[in-house]
Structure 1
Amino acid sequence: MHGPVHAGWLLVALCAATGSYCLLRMRSRIEEQRRTAGGEALMGFGMALMALPAAVLTPPRWAWLAYVAVFGAAALRALWAARQNRHHLHHLVGACAMVYMAAAMAATPTAHTGHGGGGAPALTGALLLYFAGYVLWSGVRLLPVPTLAAAEGAGGGTVTGWADRTELAMVCRLSMGITMIAMLLTL
């Protein structure tokens, strides 16, 4: 993606950190959470690679086509998984957005160096609206809500490992949504 180099490095760092935490979440005891974390790790690392500044790496056209193939397969997997869990519909939209951005970059090779643009404005706008809504919805879900245990003053409870922290998973999804908006704006 083109844009300021510093912003590109911040996107790379954010996506790589998110992908790394999602790999850690794959150690969860809950099978559905492991499966979801794997898709989110792929998305995080894929976004980190795609956000590398053009001064560092200008991928050849075949690399963008490889992105299309990888995220196309991820989209099909998310479509299949969406039969059982609606959350996978968001993964489907995210994977399709990655396919769209990679296809736009493959179609206009100079877009990565900042000399051209790619993509259809209407589709880009629709994806921007979707991810903006998702970011707002995710942010609201992170607002602190007093729990029944805290209201009753209960000091006990179960110890939750890093892989099972739902609030951290929501933060990862929120950060990837924000990054997706930034990447779509530079398309």
Structure 2
Amino acid sequence: MFSSPAWLGWSVAGLFTVLAIVSLAQVLGALPCAACGDGVTGDRESAVAHAVMAVAMALMFVPWGDSVPALAWQAVFVAMAAWFAATLFRAGPGMPRWRSAATHHLLGAVAMLAMVGAMDGAPAASGDHGGHSAASAGFLLPAVLAALVVYFAADTALSGWRAVRGGTGGRASGAARAVMGAGMAAMLVPML
């Protein structure tokens, strides 16, 4: 799905597979999820979202990732976006809604929907997802994609900083979030 040299695609897919395994271990309680929950979003729902995103991103880098129908991915990410939008809506007064993990996961689901939508077209050409670029879609889509790239790049930097200076649990969660953010930004850039 994502145009890259085979060795790089498999390496990145392996990295995202490791992140999916770590997230699943957090869901099952085998590993702590120090930076997952924040009062708005629970630890397990955040870890499940990380696992789903990591699996989807891993599949985008392997040749047989095309075997998953775009409609299936769209259903997953629409459901994820709706879940986290509802989580934000239900958050009590005084809760950090717009700095919460729910906002982060909502933006991630929107970014994945954009990627899946772009990949659902013609075969990839010159590094574009599905042969489409945002430039051919008017002004709104490129603006949204650019904002998502900036968000995920900034989140990568902040998460990386937290991983470097954080405690034991914060390091692992911060590093995982930094890798996911970097992957999201890198996958969105060719769509601009």
Scaled to the shorter chain, the TM-score interval is 0.7 to 0.9
Could you say which residue in structure 2 is the equivalent of 1:126?
147
| CA displacement, residues 78-112 of structure 1 (integer Å, 9 cap, x when unaligned) | 11223435221000000110000000111x22127
> Residue 164 of structure 2 contacts residue 171 of structure 2 at CA under 8 Å; is this kept in 1?
no
Q: Distance in 2 between matches of 1:182 and 1:9?
A: 16
- For the residue of structure 2 that corresponds to 1:57, the secondary structure is helix
Aligned to 2:170: 166
Are 1:51 and 1:183, in contact at CA under 8 Å, matched by a contact in 2?
A: no
| 1:179 and 2:173 correspond | no
Larger-gyration structure (1/2): 1
TM-score normalised by L of structure 1: 0.76
User: 109, 113, 128: which one pairs with 1:95?
Assistant: 109
With structure 2 as the length reference, what TM-score do the two structures score?
0.75
Residue aligning to 2:69: 63
Deviates more, 1:113-122 or 1:168-177: 113-122
After superposition, residues 1-187 of structure 1 pair within 5 angstroms as 1-28=2-29, 32-52=42-62, 56-57=63-64, 59=66, 63-83=69-89, 84=91, 86-106=100-120, 108-111=121-124, 117-121=131-135, 122=142, 123-144=144-165, 165-187=169-191
- How far does residue 144 in structure 1 lie from its aligned partner after superposition? 2.2
Amino acid at match of 1:140: W
Number of residues of Structure 1 aligned to a counterpart in Structure 2: 165
- What SS does structure 2 have at the residue aligned with 1:111? coil
Aligned-pair CA distance for 1:133: 0.9
Q: 1:133 to 1:64 in 2, by over 3 A?
A: same
Q: Any gaps of 5 or more consecutive residues in structure 2?
A: 92-96, 136-141
User: Considering only aligned residues, what root-mean-square deviation do their CA atoms show, in Å?
Assistant: 2.6
Residue identity over aligned pairs, in percent, reads 31
- Alpha carbons of structure 1 residues 133 and 70: separation in structure 2 relative to 1, 3 Å: same
Looking at structure 1, the residues matched to 69 and 164 of structure 2 have their Cα atoms a distance apart, in angstroms, of 40
Output the amino acid matched with 2:60.
Answer: M
Query: Corresponding residue for 1:151?
Result: none
Runs of 4+ off more than 6 Å: none
**In 2 relative to 1, CA 113–9 (structure 1 residues): closer, same or farther, beyond 3 Å?**
farther
